[in-house]
Amino acid sequence: MEFRYLGRSGLKISEICYGNWLTHGSQVENEAALACVRAALDVGITTFDTADVYANTKAESVLGEALTGERRESLEIMTKVYWPTGPGGHNDVGLSRKHILESINGSLRRLKTDYVDVYQAHRFDVETPLEETMQAFADVVRQGKALYIGVSEWTAEQIRAGHALAADLGVQLISNQPQYSALWRVIEGEVVPTCRELGLSQVVWSPVAQGVLTGKYLPGQPVPEGSRATDEKGGKNMISRFMDDAILERVQKLKPIASDLGLTMAQLALAWVLANDNVACAIVGASRPEQVTANAAASGVKLSADVLAAIDQALGDLVVTDPGFTAKNAPKTRPA
């Protein structure tokens, strides 16, 4: 496992990060989830990403249980706040001071730790003044409950404004967590250049496009039983944007590229996102330990310029690059 600095900070994280968005507490039984975390630790993954909203707080609890007994100083734990949790009351959502300060306490309790390494704003809250949000995050850092702060799916303009306030408050905003894959490149036009300038790294989710870039979904064929594309709790709606025969046909053209390199399709997809020097890590999930082991092997793989060009040619003009999608997909009001 190789490691990269997170933003313009001294914190290093593993290139492959284990995340439990769609698995722990919902899609995968606890015993299997614990086995996946153990596999992650065994292959040298030290960075773990979760959020209070995943399985309505259950994912944090499962991860906390799985990491019990590990040396805390050897791990980097990241969690997030914004989406509705608990009973979903009127203050159980957003980035108000009340919700942030109450949520960090709940996350720490469930994760069985005194602090998280990075506390992230899971989306931008259009209904709370940014000054209030950033002051609350700064207080979380000063209280020792988080070491650094990050954001997720913020626009370049929002990141710039948040970074300026964080700097004024004396805390480090060091990361953004966006969706990014060879098929979904909307951060490249605006978000990545802004983050390079300001000293933030990308902690990317869905680097294999919800499994599409593994090549297991074939054009004109029924989706495999038990796959994410069939699971209402496992991201079926999100994966639907890629479940188009034209896209699936293009993805199949990546198979010989991966084969020539001795890589699986998933490893090729992970190596592709890690080829971007603004990406600090790629978040992977798993329902089986062997998936973790295979994905971790993408760390350290270097793709040549010729290989990157071949991937671009294979996927063609079906790649999504419009930077406007970050704002388009953002919540326009707090979710109920």
pLDDT greater than 90 at residue 190: yes
Residue tagged 């991937």 (tokens): 311
Residue 73 DSSP code: G
Within-domain flag for 322: yes
Identify the band that residue 74 occupies on the pLDDT scale cut at 50, 70 and 90. Answer: very high
The predicted structure's pLDDT at residue 123: 98
Within-domain flag for 2: no
Range with the largest mean pLDDT of 22-26, 233-237, 298-302: 298-302
The predicted structure's pLDDT at residue 199: 98
The predicted structure's pLDDT at residue 240: 82
- Total domains in the chain come to 1
Within-domain flag for 8: no
Catalytic site residue from 54, 119, 148, 217: 54
Average pLDDT of the residues in 78-90: 96
Within-domain flag for 224: yes
The predicted structure's pLDDT at residue 222: 77
Give dist(CA 76, CA 67) in Å, integer.
Answer: 11
Within-domain flag for 333: no
Within-domain flag for 3: no
pLDDT greater than 70 at residue 25: no
Summarize pLDDT for 110-149 with one digit per residue, the tens: 999 999 999 999 999 999 999 999 999 999 999 999 999 9
> Considering only 149-158, 223-232, 249-258, 270-279, which range has the smallest mean pLDDT?
223-232
Within-domain flag for 7: no
Residues of the chain with pLDDT > 70: what percent? 94
The predicted structure's pLDDT at residue 336: 81
The predicted structure's pLDDT at residue 231: 57
pLDDT greater than 60 at residue 27: no
The predicted structure's pLDDT at residue 62: 93
pLDDT greater than 90 at residue 78: yes
Q: Do residues 185 and 319 touch, judged by C-beta distance below 8 A?
A: yes
Domain that holds residue 80: 14-328
Average pLDDT of the residues in 266-275: 98
pLDDT greater than 70 at residue 10: yes
Residue 74 DSSP code: G
Give the CATH number of the domain where residue 210 resides. 3.20.20.100
The predicted structure's pLDDT at residue 133: 98
Q: Is 82 noted as a catalytic residue in this protein?
A: no
The predicted structure's pLDDT at residue 227: 56
The predicted structure's pLDDT at residue 28: 66
Summarize pLDDT for 195-242 with one digit per residue, the tens: 999 999 999 999 999 999 999 999 888 777 655 555 555 566 778 889
* Long-range contacts, stretch 238-244, CB < 8 angstroms, 24+ apart: 238/206, 238/210, 239/209, 239/210, 239/211, 239/212, 242/183, 242/209, 242/210, 242/212, 243/212, 243/217
Summarize pLDDT for 88-106 with one digit per residue, the tens: 999 999 999 999 999 999 9
Within-domain flag for 112: yes
Task: Please list the helix, strand and coil fractions of the chain in percent, rounded to the nearest 5, in that order.
Answer: 45, 15, 40
